[in-house]
Amino acid sequence: MWDETGQEYLDLYGGHAVISIGHCHPHYIDMMNRQLNKLGFYSNSVINPLQQQLAQRLGKACRYEDYSLFLVNSGAEANENAMKLASFYNGRTRILSLEKAFHGRTSLAVEVTANPKIIAPINANGHTTYLPLNDLDAWRRELEKSDVCACIIECIQGVGGIRMVSREFMQGLRKLCDETNTILICDEIQCGYGRSGRFFAHQWFDIKPDLITVAKGIGNGFPMSGVLIAPKFQPVYGQLGTTFGGNHLACTAALAVLDVMESEHLVENADKVGSYLIAELKKLVGNYHIVDVRGCGLMIGIELDIPYKEPRTRLIKEQHCFTGSSGTNVIRLLPPLCLSQEEAQQFIEKFKQVLS
């Protein structure tokens, strides 16, 4: 990226994991321009064949060809509709969510977000029980009460500090949900769409959720999201609806993203370059104020023994490198999936400079 003076910046944050295929990819620009010259928008009162193309392409890319797809506009909307479907399915109203979870800022999405500062009194309706990460016994005790509508999980917590669920926990939770007729929702809004080195982060754990929510990287900056819906849910005409969801430009953006992800092998690149970056950063633990390095693929948290603010500011102003943060001590990396190994090494050198 470049600023108004022509200064170049290395982007290791991708606008909160939104930029999946890189800024201004020529194929993306060309497809968007061509679609805009045909038709920018029409409502879902008429069939949009681009939605059908996207559903088929996405199902094949992520190996969920038997799931349905409902398209909306933001991650919060995707989570709202997922929880709504879960409640329609089993008639229950209680949700189990992780401590330090972030699922959005609207109505029920904010209620399952573990941050009381952003939950307005009108949203505090008692639907949610927060439970510890990877404590399967705590989740079992709540699920055995048989009143839980759904469990909503980020397999890699983003805002929560790049904390990852364990295989034992996810497989155990899947089994408990099956036994109690509870819906398992995987929020793949930040950790999905190739970021972890698999198409979805939960695919590292050999489980299949009932509902999968996606957003951020799906449109490379064009507002779009979706819910992947297991065959156990029977579609009901008019039960869910949207004005802008799945519009022509949004679907074109998503199709362009899939084109580039496939042709440039970006999921594999996220695994390869992410593994390299994590391994190199782990060599620095104990030095440069680094106490821990966590993550998977190109979703990485670097925990410091000092607040992140000064080094992050120096990275921008002195080293011309964008990064993110979480909590008070974690530098968060969410670069475009096209990050090269050479660019990863550039970041390491810039990071060492500001922490020397």
What kind of architecture, by CATH, is found in domain 10-21+265-355? Alpha-Beta Complex (3.90)
**Rounded Cα–Cα distance for residues 15 and 313 (Å):** 16
Closest CA to 305 of 277, 279, 321, 284: 284
**DSSP letter for each residue of 199-261:** SSGGGGTT---SEEEE-GGGTTTS--EEEEE-TTSPP-TTSS--SSTT-HHHHHHHHHHHHHH
- The domain limits of the chain are 10-21+265-355, 26-263
Closest CA to 195 of 338, 69, 73: 338
Query: For residue 159, what pLDDT is reported?
Result: 96
Check if the beta carbon of residue 71 is closer than 8 Å to that of residue 44: no
- pLDDT tens-place string over residues 131-177: 999 999 999 999 999 999 999 999 999 999 999 999 999 999 999 99
- pLDDT tens-place string over residues 77-102: 999 999 999 999 999 999 999 999 99
Give the tokens for residue 83.
């929880």
Query: For residue 163, what pLDDT is reported?
Result: 97
- Please, which residues have CB within 8 angstroms of residue 2's CB and are 6 or more apart in sequence? 8, 9
Buried b (16+ CB within 10 A) or exposed e, 189-203: bbbbbbbbbbbbbbb
Closest CA to 20 of 353, 335, 343: 335
Which residues make beta-bridge pairs with 300? Answer: 295, 333
CATH of domain 26-263: 3.40.640.10
Query: For residue 356, what pLDDT is reported?
Result: 87
Q: Look at strands 183-187 and 321-322 and give their pairing.
A: unpaired
| Predicted TM-score (pTM) above 0.95 | yes
Residue numbers of the chain with a pLDDT score lower than 70: none
